[in-house]
Amino acid sequence: DAMVIQNPRYQVTQFGKPVTLSCSQTLNHNVMYWYQQKSSQAPKLLFHYYDKDFNNEADTPDNFQSRRPNTSFCFLDIRSPGLGDAAMYLCATSGLGSTSPFQETQYFGPGTRLLVL
Amino acid sequence: GEDVEQSLFLSVREGDSSVINCTYTDSSSTYLYWYKQEPGAGLQLLTYIFSNMDMKQDQRLTVLLNKKDKHLSLRIADTQTGDSAIYFCAERYDGATNKLIFGTGTLLAVQP
């Protein structure tokens, strides 16, 4: 089945130690998104890639970076995690420009829960 | 501003109908979505509705859209304990990037 995969599902890191979260997709979608979701809150968009074009949200801290080496993979790098960065990180994809609204919908992975000690 | 609002909590008994409400702000939104999130999991797309529709039915789910009042609702018929989760509505406010604004989420608790 086509899907959005996130690894690892749980990640523990130390304060200030760089960490990378991974997302891959088999949907061949051209857009990939990264969201941060804190407890009891709605997901908050950090940035997205439209093909190779990176689009940062205005209020995303510089501590958060992303890479998309190819269509299938996208990485979220947190350069110096703080205690406030502990959250669920969600990756989503969509097939923008498709004639099908079903394809243009955002599909989410299971998330990676990050714990910062 | 861009705010999508939902009530925080809804409790129903198994077998009853649940209605989760959402108000959105951008009248130009083309699509509105309902997602379900179970504890510790990602968001699962339940259904979506195009802005020129008033109603969409999909098995136990019925979505009603009142564009004049910017009000969206999700009705779940014959609610089951497996429906217990947080439900997010979302509006697509940027067609060029398909960016979504999510509501605050409604926790649905189904009592056996």
Verify cis geometry, omega within 30 degrees of 0, for the bond prior to A81: no
Mean pLDDT of the region A9-15: 95
Residue A88, judged by CB atoms within 10 A of its CB (0-12, 13-18, 19+), counts as buried
Measured in whole angstroms, the distance separating CA A5 from the mean position of its chain's CA atoms is: 11
B106/B112 Cα distance (integer angstroms)? 19
Mean pLDDT of the region A30-57: 93
What are the pLDDT digits (tens) for B52-69?
889 999 999 999 999 889
B91/B55 Cα distance (integer angstroms)? 16
> Looking at the complex, does the CB of residue A50 fall below 8 Å from at least one CB of chain B?
yes
Whether residue A98 is predicted with pLDDT greater than 70 in this model: the reply is no
* Mean pLDDT, chain B, integer: 91
Whether residue B1 is predicted with pLDDT greater than 50 in this model: the reply is no
- Chain A: residue whose CA lies nearest to B90: A42
pLDDT at A62: 95
Do the chains contact at A31 and B97, CB–CB below 8 Å?
Answer: yes
pLDDT at B95: 67
For B42-84, give the DSSP string: -EEEEEEEETT-SEEEETTEEEEEETTTTEEEEEESS--GGG-
pLDDT at B2: 59
A74's tokens:
């996208």
What percent of chain A clears pLDDT 90, i.e. is strictly above it?
Answer: 82
When pLDDT is cut at 50, 70 and 90, the band that residue A100 belongs to is low
For B3-31, give the DSSP string: --EE-SEEEEETTS-EEEEEE---TT--E
- Chain A: residue whose CA lies nearest to B43: A108
What are the pLDDT digits (tens) for B15-25?
999 999 999 88
Residues of chain B numbered 32-61 and touching chain A (CB < 8 Å):
33, 35, 40-45, 48, 50
